[in-house]
Amino acid sequence: MSQIGSIDCGFLATYQGMLDQHWTDPQTNVDTIADAEAAKAVLENQQVNFTPITGKKKRIMSVEWLSKCDVTTTDCSDDCTITGEDADPLCQEYEIECLQETSFKMPKRAYRERTIEFEKSYMFNMLMHKKALDEWLAQYILTGLLANAGVNAYTGGIGASSALYNPTTIPANFWDDSIWGYFNLVNRMNKIKDPYMITGTNLYQYVFNRMHESMTDAGKAAMSKIGTIKKVYQDPENVETIAPGYTFLIHKTAAAFINKAWNPLGPVNAQAEAGVYALWSEQSTNIPGVYYDIITQETCESNEFYLATKVQLHGVFAVNPAPCDEDNTGILTFNCGSGI
């Protein structure tokens, strides 16, 4: 039997097969499904173009753009004389780093006396630890959105200033059918195009009710208003942890999560290192587009053989370059205030 380091290739292939089968079983995968809607929201809407990663020790990517903010007009003049300034080239660098990791360690001989197969237990451990990273990532992204929220340029309507409209406070009695017209004007005044929304409990029951009333005339009208926002992502588990009572309104390309896995993709393509290590990468089973690096080590301690596994997330939260108005980041926050 071929070996990868000291790990049997057959074990890795069996593990991969069990992993695929497990995820198609609606009952056995309940515990491994992550609450990570906020992460899905940003990854589904991001559009980023970076330079190739550079550097051996530091993994650096840069985004470049042009800026020209103080353009003026004058009275017509002599056509023989033309003056002016070029646009300013600007650049922002981002470093891909290890953001978070999780690990587990399994005794091999102990499974001789267990009815559960070692491979099945390994698969379950892996799914649970990747789930933990999935949920950490959702909160990491929400933290990034909160930190980069801009100032609402629209100071009228039902919104009220809270720390200079970051967030904008909307009284509780206005979180109803009328709120979508207000959000539409917010989008216009803040030049937000193709917006999407991430919310916790603010709109949860409202959206639930309107979705199940969509066959009525009133329900159809309400859903048409909701549809002016590209998509409303509901993530009460994470929003209420990071920013209780908040709703995020986001320009489609304003934020991104840049993820990179360095190891070969898939356990069957694992790379051997130093005789006792195996390295590969796997996709998140909850968040499309996110990949984790896997490192395993086989050890012998106190007359027991162990397989230890580390799962790592590499990446960085990034925001698009701000336009001439630095307060306009394309990310706005709203919270629910007391009724009037």
Structural domain spans, the chain: 3-59+92-146+257-319, 162-255+325-337
The length of the chain, given as a count of residues: 340
Average pLDDT of the chain to the nearest whole number: 86
Percentage with pLDDT > 90 across the chain? 50
d(CA 293, CA 264): 9
* Contact (CB, 8 A) for 247 and 333: yes
Composition of the chain by helix, strand, coil, percent to 5:
30, 30, 40
* Contact (CB, 8 A) for 286 and 303: no
pLDDT at 293 over 80: yes
- pLDDT range class, residue 138, cuts 50, 70, 90: very high
Kindly report which listed range (155-164, 167-176, 182-191, 269-278) carries the lowest average pLDDT score: 155-164
**CATH number, span 162-255+325-337:** 3.30.2320.10
> Could you count the other beta carbons within 10 Å of the beta carbon of residue 149?
23
By DSSP bridging, strand 196-199 and strand 232-234 are parallel
Between 20 and 282, the more confident residue is 282
d(CA 121, CA 107): 11
- Token pair 């353009």 is found at 71
Cis omega (within 30 of 0) for bond into 26: no
d(CA 227, CA 223): 6
> Could you count the other beta carbons within 10 Å of the beta carbon of residue 265?
12
> Could you count the other beta carbons within 10 Å of the beta carbon of residue 38?
29
Q: Give residue-wise pLDDT tens across range 201-217.
A: 999 999 998 888 888 88
d(CA 104, CA 101): 11
Q: Give residue-wise pLDDT tens across range 167-195.
A: 999 999 999 999 999 999 999 999 998 99
Q: Give residue-wise pLDDT tens across range 84-119.
A: 888 877 777 888 899 999 999 999 999 888 888 898
Backbone angles phi, psi at 44, to 5 degrees: -70, -20
